[in-house]
């Protein structure tokens, strides 16, 4: 246990009726510090759940590690104001991290994917060109995954607030869902689970809009197909093209699945 709750129940007054109040569940937002080999690297504001997944997924999505198996040890240390994740990684990865230690020298907000990055080149980092072998998921499978997702978002059912990131198989069945107040954090947590047993037979599903850093995280982790529930930015599309990633968007108004980039199959 981290010592911090995922959410809390509070009472709020109804503004138009001073005599009336309602109970409301609000999600927690806690500083989560990433400490590699005793060196403080980043502090992200996040929901204090699935922290082992968060540690692995963040490390992969940031390019600190290349494989989940490289994470040697994870130790969670709750403090008065937040939680520190003390992470042990191979010496060669540690040396590379120390060369770029200032890239994440600031606190990252829950809604921010690149807080602490000091230069434009660090933000728009080089990406691998993915070798895609699987065809696109069917429209039926994507619709099934979207319809299944709310029932598996346990936190969102309570607080109506957090984002979700899921991995779906080619039939639209959800293998797992991770949630967080920050959409980038939710994706990191999902990557942390997926990376333990990675498979290309499926797709990532995000409950949020699609911006380039989400595409970037998937590319660095090796995820070849990304489906988002809101429109992409032009940079997100260009990033998907450079990474040879399949990028789909669900149009809530028409219920159509829009394909913005179709990769070259290996």
- Residues with a catalytic annotation lie at 112
Task: Decide: 212 and 233 in contact? Cβ < 8 Å.
Answer: yes
CA dist list (Å): 87 to 1, 77, 221, 232: 17, 11, 18, 33
Residue 79, CA atoms < 13 Å, CB-side half-sphere: 11
- What's the distance, CA 140 to chain centroid? 24
Closest CA to 184 of 165, 160, 158: 165
Name the DSSP letter for residue 232: B
Give the number of other Cβ atoms within 10 Å of residue 144's Cβ: 18
Return the beta strands (E) in 139-188 as ranges. 163-168, 174-180
Q: Is 255 left (phi over 0), alpha (psi -120 to 50) or beta?
A: left
- Contacts of residue 98, defined as CB under 8 A and 6 or more positions apart, other chains included, come to 39
Q: Which residue has the tokens 């009472």?
A: 11
DSSP code for 112: -
Residue with tokens 């850093």: 213
């Amino acid at each position: 246990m981290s010592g911090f709750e995922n959410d809390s129940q509070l009472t709020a007054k109804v503004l138009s009726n001073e005599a009336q109040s309602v109970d409301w569940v609000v999600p927690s937002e806690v500083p989560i510090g990433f400490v590699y080999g005793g060196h403080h690297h980043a502090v992200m504001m996040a929901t204090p759940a699935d922290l082992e997944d968060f540690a692995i997924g963040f490390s992969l999505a940031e390019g600190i590690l290349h494989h989940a198996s490289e994470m040697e040890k994870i130790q969670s240390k709750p403090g008065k104001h937040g939680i520190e994740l003390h992470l042990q990684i191979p010496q060669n990865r540690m040396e590379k991290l120390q060369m770029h230690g200032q890239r994440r020298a600031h606190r990252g907000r829950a809604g921010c994917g690149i807080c602490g990055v000091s230069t434009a080149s660090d933000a728009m980092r080089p990406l691998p060109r993915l070798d895609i072998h699987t065809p696109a998921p069917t429209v039926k499978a994507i619709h099934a995954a979207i319809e299944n997702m709310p029932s598996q978002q346990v936190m969102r059912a309570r607080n109506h607030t957090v984002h979700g990131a899921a991995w779906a198989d080619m039939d639209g069945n959800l293998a797992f869902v991770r949630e967080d107040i920050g959409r980038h954090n939710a994706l990191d947590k999902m990557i942390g689970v997926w990376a333990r047993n990675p498979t290309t037979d499926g797709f990532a599903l995000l409950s949020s809009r699609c911006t380039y850093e989400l595409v970037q995280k998937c590319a660095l982790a090796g995820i070849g197909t990304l489906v988002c529930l809101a429109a992409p930015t032009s940079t997100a599309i260009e990033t998907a093209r450079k990474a040879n990633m399949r990028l789909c968007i669900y149009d809530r108004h028409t219920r159509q699945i829009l394909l913005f980039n179709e990769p070259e199959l290996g």
